[in-house]
Amino acid sequence: MPANIIDGKALAKRLREEFSIRVKTLQASGITPGLAVILIGENPASQVYVGNKVKACAECGVRSFRHTLPADTPETEVIALIGRLNADRDVHGILVQLPLPPHIDLRRVLEAIDVHKDVDGFHLYNVGGLVVGDSIFPPCTPYGVQLLLETTGLPVEGKNAVIVGASNIVGKPMALMLLQKEATVTICHAKTKNLAQHTIIADILIVAAGSPGLIVPQMVKEGAIVIDIGINRMPDGSITGDVDFKGVSQKASWITPVPGGVGPMTVTMLIANTLRSAERVAGQQEVLGEWEK
Cite the active site residues.
53, 97, 120
164 binds ligand NAD (CB under 6 A): yes
Would you say 170 or 175 has its CB closer to ligand NAD? 170
170 binds ligand NAD (CB under 6 A): yes
Nearest to 225 by CA among 3, 8, 2, 10: 3
171 binds ligand NAD (CB under 6 A): yes
SS3 state of residue 70 = coil
Taking the complex as a whole, the smallest distance from the CB of residue 163 to ligand NAD amounts, in Å, to 9
Would you say 91 or 268 has its CB closer to ligand NAD? 268
Name, in order, each residue with C-beta under 8 angstroms of 274's C-beta and a sequence gap of 6 or more.
33, 34, 35, 57, 62, 92, 93, 119
- Using the rule CB under 6 A, which residue among 266, 268, 274, 277 binds ligand NAD? 266
Nearest to 277 by CA among 144, 88, 100: 88
Crossing angle between the packed helical segments 44-60 and 8-28, to the nearest 10 degrees: 50
Which H helix or E strand runs over 30?
none
262 binds ligand NAD (CB under 6 A): yes
- Using the rule CB under 6 A, which residue among 20, 211, 250, 284 binds ligand NAD? 211
Cβ atoms within 10 A of the Cβ of 87, count? Answer: 9
Size of the site for ligand NAD (CB under 6 A): 25
Scored b (16 or more CB within 10 A) or e, 182-210 reads: ebebbbbeeeeeebeebbbebbbbbbbbb
Crossing angle between the packed helical segments 262-281 and 140-150, to the nearest 10 degrees: 110
3-class DSSP string for 112-124: HCCHHHCCCCCCH
Site for ligand NAD in 219-248 (CB under 6 A): 229-232
Would you say 88 or 150 has its CB closer to ligand NAD? 150
Q: Point out the residue whose Cβ comes nearest to ligand NAD.
A: 167
The contact pattern for ligand NAD, residues 67-106, with x = CB under 6 A and - = no contact, is ----------------------------------------
- Using the rule CB under 6 A, which residue among 3, 40, 82, 169 binds ligand NAD? 169
Q: How much of the chain is helix, strand and coil, in % rounded to 5? A: 45, 15, 40
Would you say 80 or 106 has its CB closer to ligand NAD? 106
Taking the complex as a whole, the smallest distance from the CB of residue 172 to ligand NAD amounts, in Å, to 8
Total residue count of the chain as it appears in this document = 293
Interacting span for ligand NAD (CB under 6 A) from 56-64, 116-124, 189-197, 249-257:
189-197
Taking the complex as a whole, the smallest distance from the CB of residue 287 to ligand NAD amounts, in Å, to 22
Crossing angle between the packed helical segments 44-60 and 262-281, to the nearest 10 degrees: 50
Taking the complex as a whole, the smallest distance from the CB of residue 272 to ligand NAD amounts, in Å, to 14
Residues binding ligand NAD (CB under 6 A): 141, 164-167, 169-171, 188-190, 192, 195, 208-211, 214, 229-232, 262-263, 266
